[in-house]
Amino acid sequence: MPSLFSIGGYRIFFWSNEMHEPIHVHVCKGKPSSKATKIWLTSKGKCVLANNNSRIEKTELNELLGVISAHFFLICDEWKKHFLVDDINFYC
């Protein structure tokens, strides 16, 4: 479970067993759990909220979506390295 970065107490990460899904990250405070919020990345460098299982407040969630979008290339590079792939499948 690679942890990509942290911001404001939130950890941005992906699970190692989800390589067959389109690229996405999970977000939670503290230790990663199955109740983490899931965010898809699009081919245009944007984010789509898949779920907000960790119930992040709307204002904070919008800020996190902006930060994740700003780290689009870093996240894509880390996905490729971790899953040993050359191509990435995007949500849309």
Q: Is residue 88 part of a domain?
A: no
Q: Is residue 91 part of a domain?
A: no
Q: Is residue 89 part of a domain?
A: no
Query: What is the band of 2 on the pLDDT scale with cuts at 50, 70, 90?
Result: confident
8-66: pLDDT as tens digits: 999 999 998 888 899 999 999 988 888 999 999 999 999 999 999 999 999 999 999 99
19: containing domain: 3-83
- The count of structural domains within the chain is 1
Token pair 């919020």: residue? 37
Q: Is residue 24 part of a domain?
A: yes
Q: Is residue 43 part of a domain?
A: yes
Q: Is residue 66 part of a domain?
A: yes
61-79: pLDDT as tens digits: 999 999 999 999 999 999 9
- On the CB side of 77, CA atoms within 13 Å amount to 5
